[in-house]
């Protein structure tokens, strides 16, 4: 597969216009923000060609006083974090090192640990330029914090995985850098019941819970506390006391990742070497599901990692191991998660994992959908894709 790396939006536009024939049989050219030849997995058929936004990585307009920045889609998260940090601003999603592109981040709309306190991807995309698959360049949203003119198309673009078109540039919402931001790593058996653990802790700005299959190690949790110095140190003390009481190991992490400036460190990810599922439970309903997982984990040795974002009720199951990613079917206990009430999201490594697409239980948005008896959502989706001249690929399943 050949990857084309246009130097400008204009080049990209020409390429899209000339590739209409490639779209006819629905083998869409793959879009990627990846610096290497990372193939988006899970496309029903392998694309014959792919295009990378990697050179569309310039700053278009940075307005620190407005808390906005407009960047090319190929800008890396790490680079963005460094640029905004210079103006004492903050983009809560960047981790270091982080070679994800802004375009890929928008298109995949991954969950993040700060979602509960700052809002998810869609709250942060104020405007973007979308190159349609017919070659037209369209522009949606405005570089302002509130905008209700017309339909809220940026929402549709977030998470659309290149089905509507290629994001070439985006205006993002930034935040003032918290005066103090401290991160702690907690490890211990008493973290198994994440909900119970959290109820004893102080208010946290971010929580990520993690356990590895095989259960060779106890679960761990990364938490962040942000704000003014007094409030942060009071809450940090409370957290430390909580950990001492429960025999939980607590370690403060060094400097906040986003300002460490570790640019250019790129994750070499080869095709098919990683896969992930997202399971949505809804806030308050994680514990039940995770208990089951813990039981199953003790028995299973799949090389999967389970991460939970309790504040938004989402679990992420992922692997970086080739043999697991290549599996045609989801790991057995992913089914357990679904049976425990979770709603399993995009199927990871392959499209044919129907066993995990169990739509039941859970009190997240889809619980509402279940009870209300949804009909036709796929139909509307397909009609709206048509309105954009988008790709009717039902699930361009890949990473979440």
Ligand X SMILES: Cc1cc2nc3c(=O)[nH]c(=O)nc-3n(C[C@H](O)[C@H](O)[C@@H](O)COP(=O)(O)OP(=O)(O)OC[C@H]3O[C@@H](n4cnc5c(N)ncnc54)[C@H](O)[C@@H]3O)c2cc1C
Q: Does 10 bind other proteins (CB under 8 A)?
A: no
Scored b (16 or more CB within 10 A) or e, 269-281 reads beeebbbbbbbbb
Pick one of other proteins, ligand X, none as the site partner of residue 58 (Cβ within 5 to 8 A by kind).
Answer: none
Pick one of other proteins, ligand X, none as the site partner of residue 227 (Cβ within 5 to 8 A by kind).
Answer: other proteins
Applying the rule CB under 6 A, the residues between 244 and 283 that interact with ligand X are 267, 269, 274
Q: Smallest distance from the beta carbon of 201 to ligand X, in angstroms?
A: 22
Q: Does 285 bind other proteins (CB under 8 A)?
A: yes
Calculated CA dihedral for residues 41, 46, 51, 57, nearest 10 degrees: 0
Q: Smallest distance from the beta carbon of 35 to ligand X, in angstroms?
A: 9
Q: Smallest distance from the beta carbon of 313 to ligand X, in angstroms?
A: 14
Binding span for other proteins by CB under 8 A among 30-38, 134-142, 243-251, 328-336? 134-142
Of 189, 151, 184, 365, nearest to 278 (Cα)?
365
Contact letters for ligand X, residues 167-196 (x by CB under 6 A): x-----------------------------
For 355, the token pair is 């066993």
CA atoms of 78 and 264, how far apart (whole Å): 8
3-state secondary structure at position 138 = strand
Q: Does 336 bind ligand X (CB under 6 A)?
A: no
Q: Does 108 bind ligand X (CB under 6 A)?
A: yes
Among 39, 162, 171, 319, contact with ligand X (rule: CB under 6 A):
162
Among 71, 73, 324, 340, contact with ligand X (rule: CB under 6 A):
73
Of 341, 219, 202, nearest to 284 (Cα)?
341
Closer residue to ligand X in complex, CB, 9/205: 9
Cα Rg for the chain, rounded, in angstroms? 21
Q: Smallest distance from the beta carbon of 246 to ligand X, in angstroms?
A: 26
How many of the other CB atoms lie within 10 Å of CB of 264?
11
Among 75, 166, 206, 306, contact with ligand X (rule: CB under 6 A):
166
227 DSSP β-pair partners: 180
Closer residue to other proteins in complex, CB, 24/375: 375
Binding span for other proteins by CB under 8 A among 10-18, 52-60, 95-103, 115-123? 115-123
Of 29, 126, 81, 393, nearest to 261 (Cα)?
81
Backbone angles phi, psi at 347, to 5 degrees: -70, 135
Pick one of other proteins, ligand X, none as the site partner of residue 314 (Cβ within 5 to 8 A by kind).
Answer: other proteins
Calculated CA dihedral for residues 146, 77, 155, 334, nearest 10 degrees: -140
Closer residue to other proteins in complex, CB, 213/236: 236
Binding span for ligand X by CB under 6 A among 25-33, 183-191, 239-247, 362-370? 25-33
CA atoms of 230 and 400, how far apart (whole Å): 37
CA atoms of 121 and 223, how far apart (whole Å): 20
- Tell how far CA 150 is from the center of its chain: 27
Of 172, 180, 183, nearest to 77 (Cα)?
172
Applying the rule CB under 8 A, the residues between 12 and 71 that interact with other proteins are 63, 65-68
Closer residue to ligand X in complex, CB, 133/243: 133
Backbone angles phi, psi at 130, to 5 degrees: -120, 120
Closer residue to ligand X in complex, CB, 72/289: 72
Of 318, 323, 301, 142, nearest to 214 (Cα)?
301
Among 40, 366, 391, 393, contact with other proteins (rule: CB under 8 A):
366
For 292, the token pair is 């089951």
Q: Are 174 and 75 a contacting pair, CB within 8 Å? A: no
**Interaction site with ligand X (CB under 6 A):** 30-34, 38, 40, 53, 73, 100-101, 103-105, 107-108, 110-111, 161-162, 166-167, 267, 269, 274, 316, 396, 398-399
């Amino acid at each position: 597969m050949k990857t084309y790396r246009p130097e400008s939006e204009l080049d990209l536009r020409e390429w899209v216009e000339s590739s209409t024939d490639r779209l006819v049989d629905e083998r869409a050219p793959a879009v990627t923000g990846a610096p290497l030849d990372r193939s988006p997995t899970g496309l029903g058929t392998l694309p014959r060609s792919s295009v990378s936004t990697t050179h569309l990585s310039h700053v278009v307009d940075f307005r620190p006083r407005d808390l906005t920045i407009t960047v090319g889609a190929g800008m890396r998260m790490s680079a963005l974090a460094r640029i905004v940090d210079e103006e004492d601003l903050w983009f809560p999603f960047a981790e270091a090192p982080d070679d994800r592109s802004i375009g890929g981040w928008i298109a995949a709309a991954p969950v993040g640990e700060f979602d509960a306190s700052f809002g998810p991807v869609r709250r942060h995309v104020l405007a973007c330029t979308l190159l349609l698959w017919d070659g037209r360049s369209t522009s949606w949203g405005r570089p302002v914090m509130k905008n209700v003119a017309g339909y809220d198309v940026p929402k549709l673009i977030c998470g659309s995985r290149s089905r509507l078109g290629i994001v070439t540039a985006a205006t993002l919402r930034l935040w003032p850098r918290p005066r103090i931001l401290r991160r702690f790593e907690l490890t211990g058996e008493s973290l198994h019941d994440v909900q119970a653990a959290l109820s004893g802790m102080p208010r946290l700005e971010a929580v990520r819970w993690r356990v590895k299959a095989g259960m060779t190690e106890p679960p761990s949790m990364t938490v962040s506390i942000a704000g003014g110095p007094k409030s942060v140190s009071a809450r940090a003390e409370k957290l430390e006391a909580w950990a001492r009481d429960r025999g939980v190991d607590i370690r403060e992490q060094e400097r906040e990742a986003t300002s460490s400036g570790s640019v250019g460190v790129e994750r070499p990810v080869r095709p098919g070497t990683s896969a992930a599922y997202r399971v949505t439970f809804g806030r308050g309903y994680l514990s039940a599901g995770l208990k089951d997982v813990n039981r199953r984990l003790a028995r299973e040795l799949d090389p999967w990692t389970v991460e939970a974002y309790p504040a938004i009720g989402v679990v992420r199951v992922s692997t970086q191991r080739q043999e697991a990613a290549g599996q045609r079917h989801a790991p057995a206990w992913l089914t357990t998660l679904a049976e425990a009430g979770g709603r399993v999201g995009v199927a990871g490594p392959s499209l044919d994992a129907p066993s995990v697409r169990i739509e039941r239980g859970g009190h997240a948005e889809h619980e509402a959908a279940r009870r209300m008896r949804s009909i036709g959502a796929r139909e509307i989706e397909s009609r709206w894709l048509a309105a954009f001249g988008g790709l009717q690929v039902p699930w361009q399943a890949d990473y979440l």
